[in-house]
Amino acid sequence: MSYTGVLGGDSKYFKESNTAKFDEITKQLDSNNFRDKLVGMKKVIAMASSGKEVEPLFPYVVKNCITKNVELKKLVYMYLVHFAEQKQEEALLSINNFQKDLDDKNQFLRALALRVMSSLNVQDITTVILVGIKKCLHDMSPYVRKAAALGIIKVFRQSPEELAVECAELIGELLKDNNTMVLGAAVHAFNEVCPTNYELIHPVFRKLCRYLVDCDEWGQCSIMQMLLRYGRTHFQSPFKGETYKKRAFYDDEDDEEGDHDGNKEIFDDGYEPGAEMELDQDHRLLLRSTAPLLRTRNSAVVLMVVNLHFYLSPRQEFSLKCVTPLLRILRSYRENAYIVLMSVSTIARERPEVFGNHLKDFFIYASDPAYVRNLKLEILSLLATDETVHSILKEFRTYVKFPEQDFVNNTIKAMGRVASKIPEVVESCIGTLMNLITKGSEHIVAESIIAIHQLLQQNPEDNKKIILQMAILLDDIKVPIARASIAYMIGEYIEYLPSGGVGIGVAADALRILAKDFVKEDDLVKLQALNLSTKLYLSLESTGDKKSEQINMLIQYVLNLARYDQSYDVRDRARFMRNILFNPKGTTSTLHEKSDEIFGSSGKKNSVSLNSKFVEDRARFLLGSLSHILNHSTSGYTPLPDFPVETLNYEERNVVAATDGQADVGAIGETSSELFTGDIDDFYGEEEEEESEEYESEEEEEEGDDDNIDNFYDSEEEEEEEEEEEEEEEGEELEGEEEEEEEEEEEEEEEEEEEEEEEEEFLPPPKKASTSNLLKF
């Protein structure tokens, strides 16, 4: 399948970006046809993404800000954000359109306009941007208010010193908002603008704890990042061994459940499993509010909760709550595994007992990448105890058979660290390393010798045979650092070698082997050869060996070779030794008298540290931070503050939720209630009661609504019946009126007839008409 077929129709513009011409694009951007403009903008964005120069098209793009199409407007705004800084004067032409879009009916367009306007890094419009942000703070849509919170960060970066106070005031208004979408962005702005202005946090601390679980995932990370530093500066340390209150882990759990024998493990600090330490009520609220987030799907949220509990919760509570979720995200992705293992290594260094029952989670698989393997080796060496050391060493003996040479070398180093930590297994580890010396490659042999050298420091008297075996192997080993380690061991522990001249003979033979190819040796080997010759000379003086003359000649030979060596370090070292050892009556006579203390066995031993710098150095950084991952301080890194001597008064956080209308503007489905001020132990119980009461009230309201609906329809039916009755009554009335009219008409007709009859009675009878009269008519 082609690239275009996979990514869709718009991918063709990336291919056409190589042949696209400005004349064609400008015609499309000036076209009256909306589709032509959209195609032209897609070509511009494709060219910009490919690294082509598209700045000359800025005037043509700006003119399309007035479009009402959302898709085209997004592309135009995307272009403006990237190139407004280079074209500041032309960018000012679009400000009026941004201000118009802030009044648009579409909330997404309002947020987009503010986002783009605040992204324009133009100093001349800073005031205009602030006005737009203030306007959007009171917007009915939480999506727009969230964009306003993020816009505060952008405008603050333009003038940090001038706008610090004003931006902090705007953030204080946003923190009063009760919408979880807005709270996450507001706290993120707080972390960027005024991370130590905790006066803004005191009134809303409990609200943030209660609303934390309802915020979006990245908002939860920002809020917990702030709460971690807030807790370190306003709560007492949970690690000082305060008194513990024995009670169940959960409120409804029996104290004696699961412990029928009454035998409970008591820790050295007086803490018992299942007990909760007496903490400040708000401190306990913070820990309880963040604990449910350990079950979230987002690895960043889980790791942030683990970090917060690592620094703020008692040790045993941390192990009970956080270990299993941390190991869960360890199994997700390789990229996550590396970050998680970084944190685990630091935690294991401070509290190795936390992962004592989870060793198998850190065993190495053949499919693990190199960076995961090395971290697991570090962790296993840190988790070694008297109970687990044999299982760990058994794994290490398997790992040294792997084909990867670097991994085997790291395993040998880890084995040396474990043996130095637990002296009871030194002999067993040395035996394993000696087998590697006889069977492994040169580099593995060299690493094994270095590890043996480190282990011999603990008890050289019981390992005389090991030193003799090292001397025998000197002629066969060619790796410089391994040869230097053997020379150092022989000279450093020469007094532990067998007496009767055997020890001196072994040391002299080792010096002869080194002198044979002294010129070709590495500088590190040459320096150790000089040290061996010096200690051998001091041993001869103390024992008076018969072969001292021959050995003295060998020592002089080595010093003469070093005197003309190419390395100035070797030359200086040889000159220094010669003047002290072979000039007893000169200016260095006092040093000659102290030569045995300076070079010999009575001097101070230089012990080699076996601790891993990889882990030790990282422990100084905050878990999960970029500095912790990179192992050096990065720009903007702020160390975690220490716990305070005096803490904030509990009553200072007893603040009622803001009554200002700003807090509840545009709250759709939001809760606006007073913050919790009572006993923290009853916090969740009261919350459940409130929820049940709300649920019951909702049911009653629903029932009332049903009744209202029934009544509504009943009233409608009654009205219809009344109307029908009225119509019937009106009809009857009309009929009655008609009947009355008819009756009246009939009565009138009857009356007329009666009158006519009466008139007829009083009139004389009519005369007969004559013909003459008819003719006249």
What is the pLDDT, as a whole number, of residue 286?
94
Pairing of strands 276-277, 244-245: antiparallel
Please say which residue of 551, 577, 605 terminates a domain: 605
In terms of pLDDT, which residue wins out, 373 or 247?
A: 373
What is the pLDDT, as a whole number, of residue 321?
87
- Please give the Cα distance from 201 to 204 (Å, whole number): 5
Taking 70 as the threshold, does the pLDDT of residue 305 lie above it? yes
Query: 596 in a domain, yes or no?
Result: yes
Please say which residue of 552, 578, 605 terminates a domain: 605
Cross-strand bridge partners of residue 277: 244
Mean pLDDT of 654-676: 41
Q: Could you tell me which of 425, 429, 369 has the C-alpha nearest to residue 400?
A: 429
What is the pLDDT, as a whole number, of residue 465?
79
Q: Are residues 592 and 469 in the same domain?
A: yes
- Please give the Cα distance from 197 to 6 (Å, whole number): 50
What is the pLDDT, as a whole number, of residue 498?
65
The radius of gyration of the chain from alpha carbons, rounded to an integer in Å, stands at: 46
Which range has the worst mean pLDDT, 14-23, 417-426, 524-533, 666-675? 666-675
Q: What is the mean pLDDT of the chain?
A: 77
Taking 80 as the threshold, does the pLDDT of residue 649 lie above it? no
Query: 700 in a domain, yes or no?
Result: yes
Q: Are residues 686 and 596 in the same domain?
A: no
Buried b or exposed e, range 470-498, using 16+ CB within 10 angstroms: bbebbeebebbbbbbbbbbbbbbbbebbe
Tokens at 333, concatenated? 């992705």
- Please give the Cα distance from 470 to 85 (Å, whole number): 69
- Please give the Cα distance from 577 to 533 (Å, whole number): 10
What is the pLDDT, as a whole number, of residue 312?
93
Query: 570 in a domain, yes or no?
Result: yes
Q: Could you tell me if 459 and 423 are in contact, meaning their C-beta atoms sit under 8 angstroms apart?
A: yes
Percentages helix, strand, coil for the chain (3-state, rounded to 5) are: 70, 0, 30
Question: How does residue 176 score in pLDDT terms, banded at 50, 70 and 90?
Answer: very high
Tokens at 441, concatenated? 């490659």
Query: 201 in a domain, yes or no?
Result: no
- Please give the Cα distance from 233 to 644 (Å, whole number): 6
* Phi, psi dihedral angles at 276 (to 5 degrees): -110, 135
Buried b or exposed e, range 691-726, using 16+ CB within 10 angstroms: eeeeeeeeeeeeeeeeeeeeeeeeeeeeeeeeeeee
Taking 70 as the threshold, does the pLDDT of residue 352 lie above it? yes
Query: 430 in a domain, yes or no?
Result: no
- Please give the Cα distance from 110 to 358 (Å, whole number): 52
Taking 70 as the threshold, does the pLDDT of residue 378 lie above it? yes
What is the pLDDT, as a whole number, of residue 441?
75
Taking 50 as the threshold, does the pLDDT of residue 776 lie above it? no
Q: Could you tell me if 429 and 421 are in contact, meaning their C-beta atoms sit under 8 angstroms apart?
A: no
In terms of pLDDT, which residue wins out, 54 or 457?
A: 54
What is the pLDDT, as a whole number, of residue 680?
41
Q: Are residues 695 and 563 in the same domain?
A: no
Q: Are residues 475 and 592 in the same domain?
A: yes
Which range has the worst mean pLDDT, 309-313, 376-380, 748-752, 767-771? 767-771
Q: Which residue is it, tokens 């809020």?
A: 223
* Phi, psi dihedral angles at 191 (to 5 degrees): -65, -30
- Alpha helix positions (H), 138-216: 142-158, 160-175, 180-193, 205-211
What is the pLDDT, as a whole number, of residue 204?
93
- Please give the Cα distance from 316 to 210 (Å, whole number): 24
Range 461-465, long-range pairs (CB < 8 A, 24+ positions): 461/496, 463/430, 464/496, 464/497, 464/498
Range of the domain at 690: 679-707
Kind and range of the H or E run holding 753: helix 683-762
Mean pLDDT of 646-652: 71
Q: Are residues 479 and 590 in the same domain?
A: yes
Mean pLDDT of 5-22: 60
What is the pLDDT, as a whole number, of residue 265?
37
Question: How does residue 253 score in pLDDT terms, banded at 50, 70 and 90?
Answer: very low
Tokens at 415, concatenated? 């084995």
Neighbours of 753 (CB within 10 A): 10
Tokens at 214, concatenated? 């309802």
Q: Are residues 600 and 688 in the same domain?
A: no
pLDDT digits (tens, 9 = 90+) for 728-769: 555 555 555 555 666 666 666 665 555 555 444 434 444 444
Query: 491 in a domain, yes or no?
Result: yes
Q: Are residues 473 and 601 in the same domain?
A: yes
Mean pLDDT of 697-726: 53
Q: Are residues 684 and 599 in the same domain?
A: no
Helix, strand counts (H, E) of the chain: 36, 2
Taking 90 as the threshold, does the pLDDT of residue 584 lie above it? no
Kind and range of the H or E run holding 244: strand 244-245
Mean pLDDT of 511-527: 91
Identify which of 82-91, 382-391, 638-647, 763-772 has the greatest average pLDDT.
382-391
Identify which of 505-519, 677-691, 709-723 has the greatest average pLDDT.
505-519
Query: 177 in a domain, yes or no?
Result: no
Taking 50 as the threshold, does the pLDDT of residue 66 lie above it? yes
Kind and range of the H or E run holding 434: helix 426-439
Terminal Cα-to-Cα distance of the chain (whole angstroms):
122
**Which distant-in-sequence residues (6+ apart) come within 8 Å of 117 by Cβ?**
95, 98, 125, 128, 129, 132, 151
Taking 60 as the threshold, does the pLDDT of residue 110 lie above it? yes
Mean pLDDT of 619-630: 87
Mean pLDDT of 279-290: 91
Taking 50 as the threshold, does the pLDDT of residue 367 lie above it? yes
Taking 90 as the threshold, does the pLDDT of residue 57 lie above it? no
What is the pLDDT, as a whole number, of residue 78?
87
Q: Could you tell me if 563 and 533 are in contact, meaning their C-beta atoms sit under 8 angstroms apart?
A: no
Q: Are residues 688 and 581 in the same domain?
A: no
Number of structural domains found in the chain: 2
DSSP class of residue 69?
A: -
Tokens at 81, concatenated? 């954000």
Question: How does residue 229 score in pLDDT terms, banded at 50, 70 and 90?
Answer: very high
Q: Are residues 600 and 683 in the same domain?
A: no
What is the pLDDT, as a whole number, of residue 175?
94
pLDDT digits (tens, 9 = 90+) for 434-490: 888 776 677 788 888 888 888 887 777 767 778 888 888 888 888 888 888 888 888
Please say which residue of 605, 637, 664 terminates a domain: 605
What is the pLDDT, as a whole number, of residue 669?
35
Mean pLDDT of 64-82: 86
Query: 673 in a domain, yes or no?
Result: no
pLDDT digits (tens, 9 = 90+) for 122-157: 788 889 999 999 999 999 999 999 999 999 999 999
Taking 80 as the threshold, does the pLDDT of residue 9 lie above it? no
Q: Could you tell me which of 577, 376, 613, 590 has the C-alpha nearest to residue 491?
A: 577
Q: Are residues 590 and 687 in the same domain?
A: no
